[in-house]
Amino acid sequence: MTLIALAIEEPSPRGIAAAIARLISLGDLAPGDRLPTVRELAAELGVSPATVSHAWQTLSRAGLVVSRGRSGTFVRSAPREWLPLRYRSLDDTTTARLDLSRGTPDPELLPSLAPALSRVTHTADAPSYQQKPDIPQLHDLLRATWPTPVESITVTNGALDAIDRVLAALARFGDRVVVENPTFPPFLDLLEHYGLDPVPVALDEFGMLPDAFASALAAGPSLVLLQPRAHNPTGISMSPERAERLGAVLRRTRAADRAIVVEDDHSGAVTSAADVTLASVVPERVLHVRSFSKTHGPDLRIGALGGPRELVDRVVAHRMLGAGWTSRMTQAILFDLLTDPDSVAQVSRARTAYTERQQLFAAAMAAQGIAIAAGDGLNAWLPVRNERAATVQLAGDGLRVAPGSPFQLGAAVPHVRVTVGMVRSDVESIAESLAAAAQRLA
């Protein structure tokens, strides 16, 4: 018998798919290896071709294999190299009945752009490359709605652009950066790109653990990178009390007396938690980032960075050497969306919908015997016994989730990230599938 046939202990579609997934994980099947045909393996196992065909479909939905027509079915090659390392781990273009892996907002809950687009053409002029980067009306509105009084604000091409610019302007090769563990995978890719050393800090339901934070600050970091609300992947929102404690720890830690806090408030107006920031304690050391991708549309690519004038000016000066500024037309579109009553009402409805979906999901998981606190924003962090086995089983059920390993530093604790914000209906059946997959060992 072939290696694949020998590895299959249970000749059901799920058992066949799980066995091949293990062979791929262990490296016994390498990217580009050709799998036996459906009829060949069916004959070896003594099962119907339909059984093997269903297993192949499960593996394809899990992103592990790819069909090339008459040439056969092959172990999927590594994702395209232009994607950063941890982005590659999350890249999956296979089809699924319901994709809960992306962490993106529900398109049905975004405000329409058409009315705003029809009203902004006259504001798209850029008479000089040296003029002020931000349009005054958006700048003033951002300042009025910032979580604390702020010296300076600049508009960026989204949250990651802001964080990238901060790292480029303020960090030096070899610097340490305190990060939450787990955290958003592109943060780790950015740190690696700039030669920065991440120092992980564990979380509880209120945010970074103060004692662990103090230990990390003792390493003398130059930056602290955190998500104050709707933390990705866990859905945690930091409490105001925890923000005060972390700010106090930062203020009294001499080894980190120059550390700057960078806060990524990526989900803003669709989170259920109120504004929270360490700037309430250490305003002179906090750069707060706001994104409007989750609230108004990912393709707008617009956010804002605010904080001490000296720090923001350094970021703006560095940016002027490259991208220069965020399109003033895009800024005008955002200003329109933030002030138009219909758009404001739609964002409010989205916030209510996401909150309800989180609560329904937590209740449905509790009914399956898995206790998960209702998170904030779009995502939930589900513990599983075996990450690969869980994702493969869910793919067999037509569900796609994100593997948890790319979100973690050090020894990964098996999890999957579930984009609860996309669960519009059938929450009980989805919870049943997730609970069954969470218990699967192999």
Q: At what angle do helices 387-396 and 13-26 cross, to 10 degrees?
A: 140
Q: Which two tokens stand for residue 296?
A: 């108004």
**What is the token pair recorded at 16?**
């066949």
- pLDDT reported for residue 159: 95
Give the CATH number of domain 3-75. Answer: 1.10.10.10
Supply φ then ψ for residue 175, to 5 degrees. Answer: -65, 155
Per-residue burial over 97-123, b = 16 or more CB atoms within 10 Å of its CB, e = otherwise: ebbbbbbebbeebbbebeebeeebeee
Nearest CA to 292 among 341, 333, 261, 324? 333
In the DSSP assignment, the letter for residue 323 is: T
Residue 225, beta-bridge partner list: 179, 262
DSSP for 185-206, written as a single string: HHHHHHHHHTT-EEEEEEEETT
Give the DSSP H or E segment for 20.
Answer: helix 13-26
Predicted pLDDT of residue 320: 83
Instruction: Determine how many CB atoms are found less than 10 A away from the CB of residue 300.
Output: 23
CA angle 11, 415, 193 (to 5 degrees): 115
Please return the burial class of 310, using the count of CB atoms within 10 Å of its CB with bins 0-12, 13-18 and 19+: exposed
Q: Is residue 181 a contact partner of residue 202, using CB atoms and an 8 Å limit?
A: yes
CATH of 85-109+343-438, one of 3.30.160.620, 3.40.50.150, 3.30.465.10, 3.90.1150.10: 3.90.1150.10
Residue 299 CB coordination number (10 Å): 9
pLDDT at 106: 96
Question: 3-class SS at 90?
Answer: helix
- Beta-carbon contacts of residue 323 (< 8 Å; ≥ 6 apart): 157, 161
Per residue of the chain (442 residues), what is the pLDDT tens digit? 788 988 999 999 989 998 998 898 888 899 899 999 999 999 999 999 999 999 998 898 888 888 888 888 999 876 556 667 676 666 665 667 899 999 999 999 999 999 988 888 655 555 565 667 789 999 999 999 999 999 999 999 999 999 999 999 999 999 999 999 999 999 999 999 899 999 999 999 999 999 999 999 999 999 999 999 999 999 999 999 999 999 999 999 999 999 999 999 999 899 999 999 999 999 999 999 999 999 999 999 999 999 999 999 999 998 888 888 899 899 999 999 999 999 999 999 999 999 999 999 999 999 999 999 889 999 999 999 999 999 999 999 999 999 999 999 998 899 999 999 999 999 999 999 999 999 987 7
What is the Cα–Cα distance from 162 to 303, expressed in whole angstroms? 8
State how far the Cα of 437 lies from the Cα of 385, in Å rounded to an integer: 9
Four-point Cα dihedral 56, 57, 61, 65, nearest 10: 30
Listed in order, the ranges of the chain carrying CATH 1.10.10.10 are 3-75
**CATH 3.40.640.10, the chain: domain bounds:** 114-338
Q: Within 10 Å of residue 351's Cβ, how many Cβ atoms? A: 19
Spatial distance between the Cα atoms of 418 and 403, rounded to a whole number of angstroms? 9
Token output for 302: 């617009």
**Residues 348, 369: Cα–Cα separation, whole Å:** 32
- The pLDDT of residue 2 is 83
Q: What is the pLDDT of residue 70?
A: 80
End-to-end CA distance of the chain: 22
Predicted pLDDT at 134:
86
CATH 3.40.640.10 assigned to domain 114-338? The reply is: yes
Phi, then psi, of 82 in degrees rounded to 5: -70, -15
Q: Where in the chain is the domain with CATH 3.90.1150.10?
A: 85-109+343-438
- Closest-CA residue to 139 (of 340, 346, 332, 348): 332
As a whole number of angstroms, the longest Cα–Cα distance in the chain is 74
Measured between alpha carbons, how far is 226 from 276 in angstroms, rounded to an integer?
12
Q: What does the block give as tokens for 68? A: 């090339």
Tokens of 190: 């950015």
Dist CA 176 CA 217 (whole Å): 9
